[in-house]
Amino acid sequence: PVQMYRFAPGAYVTQFHPEMDAEAVQLRIEVYAHAGYFPPEEVEAVIARTARADVTAAHRVLRAFADLALGRSERSPAAQSATVG
């Protein structure tokens, strides 16, 4: 499955939130506790399950995207134009 793609020259979209850490996920769970995503009485169990999730891959994607956007990646347009010619 595709998790991230380029929509236009300056527009990328993801299927996930690479910026989220455990605290951000916990806050979102608490905010949406009564929105029907899970039974409200399971909030603590859902938080415990998500706290164990390994999010390092998502953070690597975010770091690589930042490097690309800032021209620090060998795949960035700026780096590629510097090697042409």
> What would the two tokens of residue 61 be?
């994607």
Position 62 in a domain: yes
Mean pLDDT over the full length of the chain: 84
**Comparing 77 with 27, which gets the higher pLDDT?**
27
Question: Which of 31-63 are b and which e, b meaning 16 or more Cβ less than 10 Å from the residue's Cβ?
Answer: eebeeeeeeeeebeebbeeeeeeebeebeeebe
Look up the pTM and report it: 0.63
Residues whose CB is less than 8 angstroms from the CB of residue 74 and which lie 6 or more positions away in sequence, other chains included: 80
Q: Which domain holds residue 41?
A: 20-83
Question: Into how many domains does the chain fold?
Answer: 1
Q: State pLDDT tens for residues 15-68.
A: 888 888 889 999 999 999 999 999 999 999 999 999 998 888 888 888 888 888
Q: Is residue 54 part of a domain?
A: yes
